[in-house]
Amino acid sequence: MRITLITDNTVYKKGLRSEWGFACLVEIENTPRILFDTGASGGVLLHNMEKLNIDPRSIDCVFISHNHWDHTGGLDDFLKLNSNVKLYVPYYISTGYKKLEVIRVKDSVQVYENVFSTGELQGIEQSMAVKTDKGVVVIVGCSHPGVGNILVGASDFGNPIALIGGLHGFNQFELVKNLDLICATHCTQHKEEIKELYTERFTDGGAGRVIEI
């Protein structure tokens, strides 16, 4: 599988724009393409997608982790270009998209064959769990429910081996000691500490970074 960071607080690839927000493209063999979150603005999202040669019309599914502006800000502009998508949102979000297929997620649910939502954890956020031959790749928005709770939820689908996304104030570093890959992005407050502890398994983020697993 391949994960391309489209929006992040920093830039990895020259020519892209940064902003306080997160969005990434999730590509899995024989699976429709998924846009995970949409950053804070359509301007940055669509600019970066164009520079990365990602056609918005090639996206089949949009997965929103939680209803904060820095993860949903680009959604309306994206839908103006492609409204033929399934939209997965936490259950507490009520949208006004009458012509869109909206799936409000309360409990864990299967999105595609090897793609799952952890369900709406702590009443605020869902994360994505992708089953691979190596284990489960966990993609998070801001980790508001806590990294520990998210990893427990994701473990319903297999052994978590990777964690990608925003970790906010996460500081229980021992919880990720067994992961093969950590890419702490966006709102992560203790990024340098995590990187120092797990240097060989840490991958820097930034818009344009591509992670292949």
pLDDT tens digit string along 60-89? 999 999 999 999 999 999 999 999 999 999
- pTM value > 0.75: yes
State the pLDDT at residue 34.
98
State the pLDDT at residue 95.
85
3-class DSSP state of 3? strand
What CA–CA distance (Å, rounded) separates 25 from 178?
25
Given a contact cutoff of 8 angstroms between Cβ atoms, the answer to whether 148 and 175 are in contact is yes
* Domain 2-212 CATH superfamily: Ribonuclease Z/Hydroxyacylglutathione hydrolase-like (3.60.15.10)
HSE-up (13 A, CA, CB side) for residue 119: 13
Amino acid letter for position 58: S
- Pairing verdict, β 160-166 and 115-117: unpaired
